[in-house]
Each structure stands twice: as structure tokens, then as C-alpha cells.
A and B are shown apart, each in its own frame.
Chain A
Amino acid sequence: MEMVDKQSYNFAYLDEQTKRMIRRALLKAVAIPGYQVPFASREMPMPYGWGTGGIQVTAAVIGPEDVLKVIDQGSDDTTNAVSIRKFFTKVTNVETTEDTAKATVIQTRHRIPETDLTEGQILVYQVPIPEPLRFLEPRETETRKMHAMEEYGLMHVKLYEDISQHGEIATTYAYPVEVAGRYMMDPSPTPKFDNPKMDRMPALQLFGAGREKRIYAIPPYTTVKSLDFDDHKFSIQKWEQPCALCGAEESFLDEVILDDHGGRMFVCSDSHFCQTRQDEGHRGEMSPGHPLQKREGVQ
């Protein structure tokens, strides 16, 4: 008779029946890659839009032996990531990490880690609006029919609009993809830079949308194709300069405003990737110890 058992949360916060319900939805989602499976999303102890879908999926798949990493916009130390990590520490007591390679479950908001994921890892996305056709077709009854009958011409209308208004496909995040040659899918608001990483990824990718009550998935090694036109091909973002801290040239960079005189720097959005590179001795032009820096510790 331990009082602490009576008073503490069930493992991973959700009750066992709820976890079972979510796992059933997940199994269906994995069986039909890219298909949005409805599920009975629960109220979570945080507001909608903070990742209630992702948290429920994580809670349904996490076990006591798992190692959890949580990132928000690629970073381990922003508010959303910190509070979700603390939440799971409290309700599961699992080990947490910032090391991408060490984690078995990674919950993410808006990024895929730069480090390649491997078999056995699970990547859980937080999804605000799961329906890629939503802004073009507001009726849910109609979009469901369009998915069922594979009527996806409308998605290209959006890309057409981009090119006619901006001269190129200006969609830079939530860039629509076709999964396993069948379902049109919104990869959640990840930058299109990450789209190629989804293709044939060895890790399992799970998507949870709490407010919209939908779960979808991409099983390991599934083909994920970004939509484009024959004469306007899909391409990812490029930056003119490398990361200012670690000098990486192939990573996704955030622009950081430094002062009100136009000063700015570009740094890796994946904080763990950047730190690892710096620890290995890579230097960017604004990092301490770089030849361009006159003194140590310049801000």
C-alpha cells in the first residue's frame, strides 16, 4: 500500500483504454499510409495548438524503456519543447535526451532532425490542420470524397496560383506530398526543406492532430513525393551563407535579428546538430574562436 501509487498519474497520463483506442487508430494509419484516421481525441492539460495530438500519439506508443527527445522548430530548449519534455518526465519518468541518435521516440513541432533517423526510431509530428485540401475546399464531406476517389487536381491549383503570383512555387512549409503513390498528405508545417527526408525514411513517422481528431502515418521506407509541375520542379530552400555558429552548409537555417541596424545572423534551427558540430570543432564566422572574431565571446 503505497500512497504515491494512488495519487500519481497512470503511466503516460492517458488511461489504458484511451491508449488502446489511439493504438488502433495508429495501426490503421500505418496500414493505409497517408490516410487520415479519425480518433476520439482527448482533452489534454494544455491548449489546442500546443501539440495535443502529438502528445496523445507519444503517450500511446511510449514505454518505460524508451528515450524521449522533444523539439520545437528544431530546438530542444524552446518553451513548447521544454514543457512537453517535463510533462512526459512527470507522467512516465522515462529518460529524456537531446541526442537525436540516442532517442527512440522523438516528438517534433515543425522540423525533422538534421541527423539521419534510423530503423527502430519513431518520429511523432504535431499537426494543426491535417487536411491538405482544406484551404481550397472548406467542406469536409467533399475533401473526404476527393481523397476516396483520388481527385487531387485541386492541389495543383494551389501550386499553379503560387507560380502565377510569385513566379515560382512559393509554398515553403506544409508542402503537399503524395504518399505511397496514393494519398495526398500534409506533412504538417515542416519546411519543404525536410520533405526529401520523409521519402523512404527508415524510421516510423506518426502524425497526430488533436483539435481536428485525426491520426496519419508513414511506415518506414515508404515513398513520399513532393508535388510539382513538369516545368517547375520541386526544390528545397537554399541559403547564401553557412551557419554562423557551426559553419554547416547543408542544414536548415533560422534568421536571427541581432539589433535594429540590420544586423542579423543565420544559425542552424536544429540546436543539437549545431552544438554537436561545434563540439567537434566546426566554427562559423560569428562563433568564438573563429578567425573573423577579434575577441572571444562576441555577441
Chain B
Amino acid sequence: MTPQDPLLTVRDIAVHYGDRVGCEQVSFDLFPGEVLGIVGESGSGKSTLLNAVSGQLLPSAGSIHYNTRLSDVREIYEMSEPERRFLMRTDWAFVHQNPRDGLRMGVSAGANIGERLMGVGWRHYGEIRGTAASWLGKVEIADDRMDDTPSTFSGGMQQRLQIARNLVSGPRLVFMDEPTGGLDVSVQARLLDLLRGLVADLNLSVVIVTHDLAVARLLSHRLMVMQGGRVVESGLTDQVLDDPQHPYSQLLVSSILQV
């Protein structure tokens, strides 16, 4: 794989729920180290698209090719299910809006982080614990909370724990569904700062769905604006936000509250 090759190639994806359209005619490329933001209002098909692209929802049409570590390009829904699940829990990561969807609430923070490691065959308790501790440090959770369950954590801590749990396996591609939704503004800022640092340090490729244009502005390099299941505008983030061309993008940008 050369740096010019896209990591993820999506062509003409469509998801139909019976007669209703989830999303339609969506195509994009995602390059290594790139952050792609998907913005749009509720019901515009953002999450549907993210689920389809991340291997969790079989699309009605289109193709999704992923450049695997073995340097061969594979269509993700043509892989066998074990292959796809292995990919999803090693090379990929998915950060849910609600940390309860992405964490095991009944086991300790350390075990939450260690699960992916044990899933790929780590069998040395000391090493698993050491790695978990170092990841807790990276997401700014104190060492002494390692043996506490996530249910005793604040919302912001749970979200940071979910990120650590996902990144411990060294994924190259991360999907995020409104990672800052439901957090108050100061916690959001801290989380965004952390995410931006991790994305840059680890050279992650990210597809991030958000309705918050400020989040998109801070994190993403490129932006796609969705409306009614279709991409109405795409381009560099600053370009789309500073000079929106499509009437809906203009509406979206102009509806940001000014304090």
C-alpha cells in the first residue's frame, strides 16, 4: 500500500428500509490518517451510513472496499463473517454515542480495556494489566480507578474509557457516532482535545458522525453534508463551513447559535 492508496473506498452505497430510503448514492474515499466528518440533521441518514460502512448493516446496493494490513483490498461484505468480526475487533474500532453501548458495565475498567487483547490471544495477566494501565493514563483516568466498574464513572470518564478500550488493539480505522453527544460543554472540549491528540499521534483514519458543526470543525479534515439520505455537499472542512454552496449547508451553518 502506498500513501496514495485509500484505506476505505465506498461506492454508491444505498440502504433501504423497505420503501424508505436510509441513504442513497453515497461514495467516498478515506485515506490513511484522514478524518472524515459526516454532518446533517437527525434522520438525514448519517448513522445508517456509518453502520453500513462499518460492517454492521448490510447495504442494499454498492460496495465497500478496505485495504487490509495484508495489503490486499477486500470487499467487507464478501469476507466471511469470522474474518469480518476479527477485522472489526482488531483493525477497526467503533465509538458509540452512549458509552453503555460500547462498554461492559459489569466488569472493571482494566478488564474492559484488556478484552480486545485477550481476544487476540494475550494470556499474561501482568502484561494485560500493564497495557491497560498505560491506556488509562493516555485517556487521563487515574490508575486507582482501574479495578472499578464503569458504572461508578462519570459520563466523560466512561466515554474516555470506551475510547481506550477501542484503541488498545492498535486499530487503523475508527468509526465514531456522536462521540461527544450527551456530555456537557467543558467535558466535550476536553474529550475533543484528547481525541485530536490521539488521532494525530496514532495516525488514525476516522469517520466521525456528528450533528455538531463545532466538533466537525475541530476534528475533521473533510466534511460531507447529508440531507434526506443523500450527500448534498462535500469538501474540505473549512471550505464547506466558511463558504457553503448548497442551500441546506448554508442553512445548517447559519443556524449555529452565536453566544
Binding site for B on A (CB under 8 A): 136, 145, 149, 151, 153-154, 156-158, 160-161, 163-165, 229-232
Contact B123 A164 (CB under 8 A): no
Subset of 12 A-B contacts with CB under 8 Å:
A149-B81, A149-B85, A153-B116, A153-B118, A160-B118, A161-B107, A161-B111, A164-B110, A165-B108, A230-B124, A230-B125, A231-B125
Interface residues as binary, B173-186 with A (CB distance below 8 Å gives 1, 0 otherwise) = 00000000000000
B82 touches A164 (CB 8 A): no
In the bound complex, do residue A154 and residue B119 qualify as a contact, i.e. CB atoms below 8 Å apart? Answer: yes
A189 to chain B, nearest CB (A): 20
- Asked if A160 and B114 sit within 8 Å, CB to CB, the answer is yes
Once the chains bind, are B123 and A153 in contact (CB under 8 Å)?
Answer: no
For the complex with contacts A158-B107, A164-B108, A164-B129, 20 further pairs of A-B residues with Cβ separation under 8 Å are A136-B106, A145-B81, A153-B115, A153-B116, A153-B117, A154-B119, A156-B118, A157-B107, A157-B111, A157-B114, A157-B115, A160-B110, A160-B128, A161-B107, A165-B108, A165-B147, A229-B125, A230-B125, A231-B125, A232-B125
CA A165 to CA B107, docked complex, whole Å: 10
In the complex, what residues of A have CB within 8 A of residue B121's CB?
153
Q: B104 interface residue, CB < 8 Å from A?
A: yes
Which B residues contact A (CB, under 8 angstroms)? Answer: 81-82, 85, 104, 106-108, 110-111, 114-121, 123-126, 128-129, 146-147
Of A136, A149, A151, A160, which contacts B125 at CB under 8 A? A160
Question: Are A164 and B118 within 8 A (Cβ)?
Answer: no
**Residues on the A chain within 8 Å of B125, using CB:** 160, 163, 229-232
Measured CB to CB, the nearest residue on chain A to B119 is: A153
| Cβ-neighbour of B85 out of A136, A151, A156, A164 (below 8 A) | A151
Whether B124 and A157, one on each chain, are in contact in the complex, defined by CB atoms closer than 8 angstroms, is: no
B contact patch SS: helix
B104 touches A136 (CB 8 A): yes
The 9 lowest CB-CB distance pairs between A and B, nearest first, are A153-B119, A156-B118, A153-B118, A229-B125, A149-B82, A230-B124, A160-B111, A157-B111, A164-B147
A154 and B115 within 8 A (CB): yes
Task: Please give the distance in Å from A166's CB to the nearest CB on chain B.
Answer: 11
Which chain A positions have C-beta within 8 A of B81? 145, 149
- The residue in chain A whose Cβ has the minimal distance to the Cβ of B109 is A164
Q: B104 near A157 (CB under 8 angstroms)? A: yes
For B126, the chain A residues whose CB sits under 8 A away are 231
Closest to A154 in B: B115
Determine the residue in chain A with the shortest Cβ distance to B85: A149
Q: Which residue of A lies closest to B120 (CB)?
A: A153
Q: Report chain B residues within 8 Å CB of A145.
A: 81, 85
**Closest partner residue, chain B, to A137 (CB atom):** B104
A156/B123 contact (C-beta < 8 A), A136-B104, A164-B110 known: yes
Complexed CA–CA distance, A158 and B82 (Å): 23
CA distance A152 to B85 in the complex (A): 13
| Residue among B121, B123, B126 with max Cβ neighbours from chain A (10 Å) | B123
A229 to B117 alpha-carbon distance, docked (Å) = 13
Question: From A230, which residue of chain B is reached at the shortest CB distance?
Answer: B124
Residue with the greatest number of chain A CB neighbours at <10 A, chosen from B104, B115, B118: B118
Cβ contact of A230, chosen from B85, B106, B123, cutoff 8 A: B123
Q: Choose from A157, A163, A165, A232 the contact partner of B118 (Cβ within 8 Å).
A: A157
CA distance A217 to B108 in the complex (A): 33
**Interface hub of B116, B120, B125, B129 (most chain A Cβ within 10 A):** B125
| In the complex with contacts A149-B81, A149-B85, A230-B124, A164-B111 CB distance below 8 A | yes
User: Which A residues are in CB contact (< 8 Å) with B119?
Assistant: 151, 153-154
